[in-house]
Amino acid sequence: MPFVKGQSGNPKGRKKGLVDKRTLQFRERYDALAEKYTDPVEVLFNMLADEDVGVRLKAASTLVSYRYPKLRAVETTQNTNLTLGVNLAGLIPLQANPEPLDVTPTPPALEVKSGE
């Protein structure tokens, strides 16, 4: 059956506004802790110790937004009429056939003590 724009492939699928199990668990734990603590960040920190991994992950992702807020797109303008000046007077000219460099490692000099 071809795809029809605006028609769902699963007409009896998930209803709009239906909340999943992890979100319900998160809200229950948040409400329980919110009665004890007044600071929402403190509530989320306490949720990081929860036994349910889903609750811990949701709390951690919510806490991240307090530390690193979402960035907005910023439009910039650039001047494309730039000139680049380079002073070549101080550069050493390249040789036609440069000498190869000796890169063999030399062992450290050993100190020999006599009489010991």
pLDDT, tens digit (0-9, with 9 covering 90-100), for 67-79: 777 778 888 777 7
How many structural domains comprise the chain? 1
Q: Given this model, what pLDDT does residue 104 score? A: 72
Domain membership of residue 82 (yes or no) is: no
Mean of per-residue pLDDT scores for the chain:
76
Q: What is the pTM of this model?
A: 0.36
What is the pLDDT at residue 83?
66
Query: What domain range includes position 61?
Result: 21-67
Q: By percentage, how much of the chain surpasses pLDDT 90?
A: 0
Please determine, for residue 48, whether its predicted confidence score (pLDDT) is greater than 70: yes
Instruction: Report phi then psi at 67, rounded to 5.
Output: -85, -40
Whether 100 maps to a domain, the answer reads no
- Specify if 49 maps to a domain: yes
Q: What percent of the chain has pLDDT over 70?
A: 68
62 domain residue, yes or no:
yes
Residue 41 domain flag: yes
What's residue 100's pLDDT?
67
Q: How far is CA 18 from CA 15, 23, 61, in A?
A: 6, 10, 21
CB atoms within 10 A of CB 54: 14
Assigned domain for 3 exists? no
Report yes or no on 78 lying in a domain: no
Instruction: Identify whether 77 is part of a domain.
Output: no
For the segment 47-72, the average pLDDT, to the nearest whole number, is: 84
Q: What is the predicted pLDDT for the residue at 34?
A: 81
Say yes or no to pLDDT of 32 above 80.
yes
